[in-house]
Amino acid sequence: MAEQPVPDKSPNRIAGMFDAIAPRYDLLNRVLSAGIDQRWRARAIHSLRLAGTDTLLDVCTGTADVALAGRAAGASRVLGVDFSGAMLSLGLAKVRAAGQDGRIVLVRGDAMQLPVASGSTDAATVAFGIRNVQRPEVACAEMARALRSGGRLAILEFGVPRLPGVRALYRWYFTRLLPLVGKFVSGHGGAYSYLPESVGSFPPPAEFMTILRQAGFDDVRADPLTFGIVYLYTARKL
């Protein structure tokens, strides 16, 4: 999949695509990952070591799963940013249902131009959204700008397994079965054809770690989860 051409990631196209699948987004996450996505998110939040006084910035927040998990894990305040209005509306309903609308704020914005002051946050997360950004290196630099010195970063993103047997099964699932299931449940075929394209064109772990270092991060790690289907990238702001 690494040889695939880069798909169109213009902000309006991506926002429109997520607006279209928003009503079935959470359901499809659970179904297509067999529920493992919740464990991946919990692992990312745990890596931040939130202490009860931290401000968390959740970029590409979607329906606010990570924002809610961060608050439950000890973030004092959470700011979630996303450019899909429909996803944010669903996230806001979840935040209100959890009684967290005083502690979690969701705003519409672009990961390449975050609506936050420099050095104003203690931790930042992105869960399965950095590959959708038109220029991920710009988004990484923006998160570095938003974080205070010593602030922690956790990014979850899909990868390609290295074990040959797992890789072959993964490729079949991602390119054949997943688009069919996604289209059936969401009614939007393009979004779940875009998913394997976007994963295949995303930089491999070593290259993305270099992007993070160039953006101003240190202690950069890339830990494979579930046979390398997903990578957890962690780093610290210099």
Return per-residue pLDDT of the chain as tens, 238 residues: 444 567 888 888 888 988 988 888 888 778 778 789 999 999 999 999 999 999 999 999 999 999 999 999 999 999 999 999 999 999 999 999 999 999 999 999 999 999 999 999 999 999 999 999 999 999 999 999 999 999 999 999 999 888 888 889 888 887 877 777 767 666 665 667 787 788 889 999 999 999 999 999 999 999 999 999 999 999 999 9
User: Angle at which helices 205-215 and 136-146 pack, to 10 degrees?
Assistant: 40
- For 70, residues 6+ apart whose C-beta sits below 8 A from its C-beta are 45, 48, 50, 56, 58, 78, 123, 125
pLDDT at 203: 95
Round to the nearest angstrom and report the end-to-end CA distance of the chain.
Answer: 33
pLDDT at 185: 63
pLDDT at 1: 41
pLDDT at 85: 96
**C-alpha distance from residue 100 to each of 59, 79, 92 (Å):** 18, 12, 9
The rounded Cα 18 to chain-centroid distance in angstroms is 13
What is the widest separation between alpha-carbon atoms in the chain?
Answer: 48
Report DSSP state, residue 177.
I
This prediction has a pTM of 0.92
Q: State the CATH class of domain 34-159+203-237.
A: alpha beta
pLDDT at 195: 76
pLDDT at 179: 72
Give percent above pLDDT 90 in the chain: 68
